[in-house]
Amino acid sequence: MPLPLVFGVDGSFQVIESPTPPYKALGFVKTALFRIDQPALAQLDRDSPHPYALRDILTDSALYHATVFPLRHIAISGMSVYDAVRQTIFESVKDPQLSGEAMETLKWIAYEKWNGGGRDLPPFECPHCESQNATLPYNEEKGRCPDCGKELFITDMLGFHLEMAPDSAPDGVARDYMTIHETLLLFTGIRYFWEHNRDALRRSLFVKDGPLRIRAQYSKLVEPIRRFLAMARDAGIQVCVLGQEKSGAFADHLALIGDSAPIGSVFVPGHQYIREQIQHRPVAGAPYGKDTNYGAKVFVRLTDRHKMTLNIPTGEFVQDPTVANLIGAPQIFATLPTLLSSRYEDGLLPVELANAVASLSTYPSVQILTLFAESKAQGHAGKPSSP
Ligand SMILES: [Zn+2]
């Protein structure tokens, strides 16, 4: 039986930089979480879904988040760019448009609040004095560094400041914020059902555009996420989460091997195969994805026209996963055929819808962004979206 409740999450970012000195730069990030029920999916014209039909479906069932960061050469009274970005990240995660739910989710993951007890925050590097002992009391959003006494935000735990200089932040800060916020939106849905309606959680599929991966220092959220998914599975609730990768080394590899795979086949590559055949790197060293991925890579050839690179969680890390390790695999594979888009050969409707949402006027146009940046700047898209 296909899962009747399908949620999609997506984000995009754009950096606008003025082409002349002092090269002011702003980073814009938007993310969305939306719900598409099977009846709505069934009504959609799969050959050419009209953008306004999509909008109607999504109007009453979507959460939107948008924010802007000063990245370079933007004056904020009394504050360095470094502190302004830290502050903006903290305030953005608390976004009142989302009733603070994304912040609740960050706390839920960081303090592992699902099992009733919770845990202390692991120590992180203080953004002020570089002490490695920075932490916060249980469930707090703000506090003081035990060594220098300056203010800490829970979002400092993620380590955005490790990539910033006092007066500039790289474009990557906007991209990494987008990834973190997409993950928080995804788990806001999961947390809500976990707390209020576990039966609905059993009937839901959460679909994310892109890999189930959080890179570098931000990967601190990966272990708690794995522990939650494993704990829920062991408690009898298969939380169904799916990522789709449409670009990158894994998608390129699928393009090579996909056409010769039998229809209806599923291939879950292990560490050695990924290192040798996809990354072309030595097999020795850390197991692939151990620190950063909360989903295993899964190649699927569903029909003669639909082949996909998916990510599906396994709970605890598995170096060489099989289909049996994939959480909710039977439910997910039963739902996939209902999500196929005939317009986009290898696309899943929730992902295509997310991209369509991103192109609707609920988001500022590049022109407005440019106006906002006070110059005739050329923007470059962080992530391409479909027309
Ligand atoms: Zn300190």
Strand partners, 33: 9, 63
Rounded to the nearest angstrom, the distance between the alpha carbon of 382 and the centre of ligand 1 is 33
Rounded to the nearest angstrom, the distance between the alpha carbon of 145 and the centre of ligand 1 is 5
User: How does pLDDT run across 70-106, given as a tens digit for each residue?
Assistant: 898 887 778 888 999 999 999 999 999 899 999 999 9
What is the value of pTM for the model shown?
0.90
With tokens 């989710």, the residue in question is 105
Strands 204-209 and 5-17: parallel
Rounded to the nearest angstrom, the distance between the alpha carbon of 102 and the centre of ligand 1 is 26
Give the pLDDT of residue 382: 39
Give the pLDDT of residue 357: 64
CA-nearest of 328, 349, 346 to 338 is: 349
Give the pLDDT of residue 360: 52
Distance CA 311, CA 294 (A): 8
Average pLDDT over residues 246-273: 95
User: How does pLDDT run across 162-201, given as a tens digit for each residue?
Assistant: 999 988 999 999 999 999 999 999 999 999 999 999 999 9
User: How does pLDDT run across 274-326, given as a tens digit for each residue?
Assistant: 999 999 999 998 999 999 999 999 999 998 889 999 999 999 999 999 999 99
Rounded to the nearest angstrom, the distance between the alpha carbon of 306 and the centre of ligand 1 is 52
DSSP state of 293: B
User: How does pLDDT run across 108-139, given as a tens digit for each residue?
Assistant: 999 999 988 789 899 999 999 999 999 999 99
DSSP state of 80: -
Q: Quick check: 376 pLDDT over 50?
A: no
Rounded to the nearest angstrom, the distance between the alpha carbon of 78 and the centre of ligand 1 is 20
Q: Quick check: 68 pLDDT over 50?
A: yes
Q: Tell me phi and psi for residue 167, to 5 degrees.
A: -120, 15
User: Is the CB of residue 328 less than 8 Å from the CB of residue 5?
Assistant: no
The SS3 call for residue 357 is: helix
